Structures are given as structure tokens and as C-alpha cells.
């Protein structure tokens, strides 16, 4: 996970791409890398990486997303994304929009991304309504690949139920993700486990690296120990 210089996260909308992207970008920056997080979410208006602008700036992550009062709802891929992807000094995380619709924006970068050989990770939450099983996850992967004109290189297991997640739910989702990865002929790159649950989850049983996250993408009233310093971002803020 995040081993390639450029990592693209795709998946069904609501599968957790933004959560993985924001956590991953912050971790890379903490490791001393120059990191850019490109928010390519052209699908939904809420809970996007760009809502965490302040949080990412504090961590030293360069957020690449449309700015300005009227850009909120416009489907734009900024030219800087291409520039950054081509820069060998920068680690890039691309948070794509949901489904094949969101992945379509990647098509405009597919010539460059294909040449670079990027990590193209499929984030899966089997508790989301449109990916309840392996067949639907495989079908969705194929639709995304067709729209993005890129092949999935790894699967990230992210099955959870927010605050109601149990270790059993994590393990059950991971088994389905492993089967999906097998069907796609790619490795199971990682299983997402919330930091608060790491002691409770049998990590050996996951059979893949753990990607620990703090759940950042949450409405303001669902915070535990964090506080929104001012109104606005639909995120908890560290």
C-alpha cells in the first residue's frame, strides 16, 4: 500500500477512498516525503478530501483541488495533477470519485499514469449496498478499469460500519476482498483497521498488511476526543 510513487484509489462511492487517501497522505508526509493529495472527486459534493484542507495543510500535504467560491460543484481536473504526477520528487495520492463515473476523470490522465506504472488500488467495503458480494465487486472493478483505461493493481479491504464495526466484520470483509483480489489476479494490498480496534483484530488472520487509520471523515457530532475548531468542514479535525 502506497509503495508506488503515485497511488490512485478507486472504488464504489462511499467505499472509503477518501479515508484511505487522507490517512495515507498524512502518513507519507510524516515519513518526510513531499506529498500531494489530488482530490479528483467529481461525483459527490460532501465528505471529499478538499473538506480537510486545514487538516492536510497542517500535516504538510499539498492538497490539489479546485478552490474558490464557485468551484465547489464543478467537475474539474486541475492541470497541476498531471504536473505533479510527472515530478519524480513528489509522492502523489489520487482520490478518485466513486464508481466508473468518478473513475472517468482518470481517463484524461491514463496516458501518463499508464506510462508511470502507478499503484491503482480498489477500495472495497462489502457493507455498502452495491457491493454486497465478490461478483458485484469484480463487476465494479471491470467498469472502473474501462472508464479509467487503467488496470487495478491491488485490492484494499475496508469493510466497516463506522462506530458499529466489530473485529468479525473486519475479518468477514477481508475474506471477501481476498477472494475478489484472486478473481482479479492482483494482490490483497492491505486491510484497513481503525487504530482503536487494532488490539481486538486478529491481524494474523487477515493474511495481508494492516493499514491503520483514524476515522477522519465524519460529521461533527460523531467525534470522539476531537473537536471542530470552527464550523464548516464536514470532517473531524485533529
Partner 1 sequence: MAKKLMKGCEAIGEAAIRAGCKLFFGYPITPQNEIPEYMSHRLPQVGGAFVQAESELAASNMIYGAAACGERVFTSSSSPGISLMQEAMSYIAASELPVVVVNIMRSGPGLGGILPTQSDYAQATKGGGHGDYRVLSLAPWSVQEAADLVADAFDLADFYRTPVYVLGDGLIGQMMEPVEFPEDRKPLRPLPPKTWATTGWRGDRPRAVVNSLFLDPIKCEQQNAKLQARYAQMRAEEVRSAYYGDEGDLDVLVVAYGTVARVTLTAMEDMKATGLKVGMLRPITVWPFPRDALAEAAERAKAILVAELSCGQMLEDVWLSTASMRPVHFLGHQGGVLLAPEEVSAAIRDVAAGRSAEVRYAG
Angle at 178 between CA 121 and CA 11, to 5 degrees: 30
Residue 223 interacts with partner 1 (CB under 8 A)?
yes
Are 112 and 16 in contact, with CB atoms under 8 Å apart? no
Residue 225 interacts with partner 1 (CB under 8 A)?
no
Q: Minimum distance between the CB of residue 232 and partner 1, rounded to whole angstroms?
A: 6
Q: Which three cell numbers stand for residue 77?
A: 481536473
DSSP calls for 111-128 = HHHHHHT-EEEEEE-TTS
Residue 76 interacts with partner 1 (CB under 8 A)?
no
| Interface with partner 1: number of residues (CB under 8 A) | 29
145 CB contacts (<8 Å, ≥6 apart)?
Answer: 151, 152
Which residue in the set 73, 89, 199, 202 belongs to the binding site for partner 1 (CB under 8 A)?
A: 73
In this chain, which stretch among 34-42, 144-152, 201-209, 222-230 interacts with partner 1, using CB under 8 A?
Answer: 222-230
Q: Minimum distance between the CB of residue 109 and partner 1, rounded to whole angstroms?
A: 25
Radius of gyration of the chain (CA): 17
Q: Nearer Cβ to partner 1, position 91 or 236?
A: 236
What angle do the packed helices 134-148 and 167-184 form, to 10 degrees? 50
Which residue in the set 30, 31, 44, 168 belongs to the binding site for partner 1 (CB under 8 A)?
A: 44
Residue 75 interacts with partner 1 (CB under 8 A)?
no
Which residue in the set 14, 52, 97, 119 belongs to the binding site for partner 1 (CB under 8 A)?
A: 14
Tell me the Ramachandran region of residue 162: left when phi exceeds 0, alpha when psi lies from -120 to 50, beta otherwise.
left
Which residue in the set 27, 128, 178, 215 belongs to the binding site for partner 1 (CB under 8 A)?
A: 128
User: Three-state DSSP class for 146?
Assistant: helix
Residue 234 interacts with partner 1 (CB under 8 A)?
yes
User: Three-state DSSP class for 182?
Assistant: helix
Residue 236 interacts with partner 1 (CB under 8 A)?
no
Nearest to 171 by CA among 219, 132, 204: 204
Q: Minimum distance between the CB of residue 161 and partner 1, rounded to whole angstroms?
A: 4
| Residues near partner 1 (CB under 8 A) | 14, 44-47, 72-73, 125, 127-130, 160-164, 219-223, 227-232, 234
Amino acid at each position: 500500500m502506497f509503495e508506488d510513487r503515485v497511488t490512485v484509489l478507486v472504488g464504489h462511492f462511499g467505499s472509503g477512498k477518501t479515508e484511505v487517501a487522507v490517512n495515507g497522505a498524512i502518513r507519507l508526509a510524516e515519513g518526510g516525503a513531499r506529498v500531494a493529495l489530488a482530490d479528483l472527486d467529481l461525483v459527490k459534493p460532501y465528505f471529499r478530501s478538499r473538506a480537510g484542507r486545514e487538516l492536510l495543510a497542517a500535516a504538510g500535504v499539498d492538497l490539489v483541488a479546485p478552490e474558490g467560491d464557485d468551484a465547489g460543484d464543478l467537475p474539474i481536473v486541475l492541470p497541476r495533477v498531471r504536473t505533479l504526477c510527472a515530478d519524480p520528487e513528489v509522492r502523489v495520492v489520487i482520490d478518485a470519485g466513486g464508481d466508473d463515473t468518478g473513475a472517468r476523470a482518470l481517463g484524461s490522465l491514463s496516458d501518463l499514469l499508464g506510462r508511470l506504472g502507478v499503484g491503482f488500488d480498489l477500495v472495497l467495503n462489502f457493507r455498502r449496498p452495491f457491493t454486497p458480494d465478490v461478483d458485484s465487486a469484480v463487476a465494479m472493478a471491470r467498469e472502473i478499469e474501462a472508464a479509467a483505461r487503467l488496470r487495478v493493481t491491488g485490492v484494499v479491504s475496508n469493510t466497516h460500519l463506522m462506530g458499529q464495526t466489530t473485529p468479525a466484520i473486519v475479518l468477514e470483509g477481508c475474506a471477501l476482498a481476498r477472494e475478489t483480489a484472486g478473481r482479479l489476479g492482483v494482490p490483497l494490498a492491505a486491510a484497513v483497521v481503525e487504530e482503536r480496534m487494532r488490539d481486538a483484530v486478529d491481524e494474523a488472520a487477515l493474511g495481508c498488511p494492516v493499514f491503520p487509520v483514524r476515522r477522519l471523515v465524519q460529521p461533527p457530532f460523531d467525534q470522539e476526543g476531537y473537536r471542530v475548531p470552527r464550523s464548516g468542514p464536514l470532517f473531524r479535525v485533529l
